[in-house]
Structure 1
C-alpha cells in the first residue's frame, strides 16, 4: 500500500533533511515538473527584485555556502546558472568599489566546479573567459585549468585562436596572452611547447623546478635529470639533492644512496628532491599555508603566486604581506591605464586596513604620501584614489 504524500512519516522525513539536500530534491523535481519550476523561478525573481543591492552585501554568502555544500555532496542538479548569477552580482558590487574581492574569488571557483558537472556551451564559456581575462584586469586571475574539462576541445581552440592574434608588443594584453599560452600548453599536454615557454623566461629556481616537474610527469626522466644538471651548472641554486645519474627504471627517478658511515656527505644549502619537488597548489589545497609562504618567499616565485599565498598569510600575519601588496600596487600603476589605476586604488584601501591590523597605521600615511608625490602628474590615478574613499595627504586635497 502506497503512503499518502501528506502522511506524518514523509513530512517528518522532509523536515529532517538539511537545506542543501532538500534544495537539491526540489530542484530535481522542478526540472521534471514545468509548472513547479515556473512557480519557483517566479518567486526567485520576485525575491531578487526585493533584495536588490542588499542581497550582494548581506545575502550572498549563504548562497555561496549552499552552492559549495551541494557541489561537495555531488548533486546532479545544474548549478552553473545559479553560480554564474551569484558571481555576476558580486562582480557588479566589486566594480562599484565594494570590498567583495574574497567573495568574488570564491564565486569564480564555485562556478568553475559547477561548469565541470554541467558544462555550458563551450564557445560561450570561452568568450566569457576571454572577456574577464582581457577586459576586467581587476578581477581575480582565472585559472584556465579549472575550466579545461568544461571548455573541451572547441572552447580551448577558441581561446587559442584569439590568443594567437596577440603579439608580444600588444601593450598590457601581451603578458596576459603569454600566461594563457602557458596554461593552454599545459592543458593540451604539449610538453615541448610548455618547456619552450618556460625556458624563455628569466632563469630562476622556480622555473627550473617547474620544467623538471613537467618533464618528469611526462615520463621523460632523462631529460628532467639533464635539465636539473644544467640548472646546477648555471649556479641558480641546487635543484636536486641526489647524484645526477640515469634512472634505473623509467617509472621511478633515482634517489640518493646513503653515504658510508666514514664519509660525511656534502649538504647543499637548500636541497629539493627531484623526485618530489614542492608543488604550491598541493600546499594550498592541504592548507599548509606557512609552508606555502616559505616556498613563495624564496627567490624566483612569481608575483601572482605570492599574492595567492598572501591571502592566507594576511589573516594571522598582516605585517608580513605589506611589502608584497606595495609591490603589487606599483605594478598596477605601471600599466598606466584607468582600469589598472582603479584596481591599484582598491589595493591601497586593502593596504590601509592591513597597516591598521599590523599596528602601524601611521606608516600607511607616510607610504601614501610618498606614492602620491611620486605619481602626482597621474591625475586619473589620484582621482581613483579619491573615489576609493582614501584620504589624501593635505597638500593633495
Structure 2
C-alpha cells in the first residue's frame, strides 16, 4: 500500500464498498449497519495509516465513513457510554491524528446524558494538560490533545447555540480573516444569519489579503442567499478592492441586466492588467473577437492566456493565430523534456491543419523543418514529431 497506484486502486475499492453499504441501509437491520460501518471505519483508518494517500482517495473514503458513523449510531441506538468511550479513544489515542469527530453530529445518538458525560471526559483530559510552552515553536507534548480539545470546544459551542462561546472559540484573537470566516460559518450553521453576514463582512478588512478575499466570497454568498438586494453592492466593493477576471465575473453575474452600467468601469480597471482584461472578456463575456483586440492593443504577454485565447480565435481567423502558435512552440522547446516535446508536436500538427490549403502551408512546414534541424541532437523530440505525423 506504500505504492501510489496500489493505494489509489484500494481507495477506489473502498468507495465502491461504501456505495454498497449506503445502498443497503434502508433494507438492513440498523444494528448490523452500524456494526459494519464501525468495523469498516476501523479498517479504513488502519489502511490510511500505512498507505501513500497523496491523491486523497483513501482519505475521502474515510471521511465518508466518518459522516456515516453518527447516523448509523443514532439508528442503532448505540449506548451513549459506549459511544463516548469510542469517541474519546478515536480522537486522543487513535492510529492517526488528522480526522475529527463532530459532537454536533453525534448529539442525537448521545442524548443529554451522553453529551454531559462527553463534556466531563473532555474536562478530565483538559485538567491533565501540561503547561503550554512559554516560547512559540517550543516542543509541546500535549499539542495534539490541545488541538482536539479546541476543536471540541468550537463544535460544542455550536451545539449549545452559545453566541459568546462561538465568538470566543472561533474568532480567537481576531488577528486573521480566516477566523472571522470560521465564526461566520458557525453562526450560519445555527441560523444566526445576520451575525454570519456581519462577521464575514468584518473579515474583508482584516487580512492577509488572500484570506480577506475568501471572507469576501463567503460574505457575498451569504448575501446572495439571504439578502439578494444587497449582493450587487457587495460584489462591486469586492471588485474595486481586488480587481480581477474572477471578481469581475462575479460582479457581471450579479449585475445581470444592470451590467451595462458597470461595464465601462470594469473594463477600464481590468485594462491595467492585460491578462485579467482578456480572460474576463473571453471567458465571461464570451467575446473572442473583443478579447483578441484587447490582447493586441494591451500587448498581452501571458503565454497561458494567449494559448486559451487562440483556442477560440482559431475558428475566426486561423491565419492570424499562426504567429502566436509559433511563439508558443518556441517557448515550449526551451525546456528539454518529453512533456514539452509532446505539447510542441501537437501544436505544430494543429498549425498544419490551420494552414492547410492556404499560402501559409509551406511556411509552417518550413518552420517544422527548421526545428528538426536546429534540434537534431534531441532524439526524443524527433520521435514526438514523428508520432505527430509531422514532415
More helix by share: 2
TM-score over 0.5 for the pair? no
* TM-score category, normalised to shorter length: 0.3 to 0.5
With normalisation by structure 2, the TM-score equals: 0.42
With normalisation by structure 1, the TM-score equals: 0.42
Higher relative contact order at CA 8 Å, sep ≥6: structure 1 or structure 2? 1
- Structure of greater Rg: 2
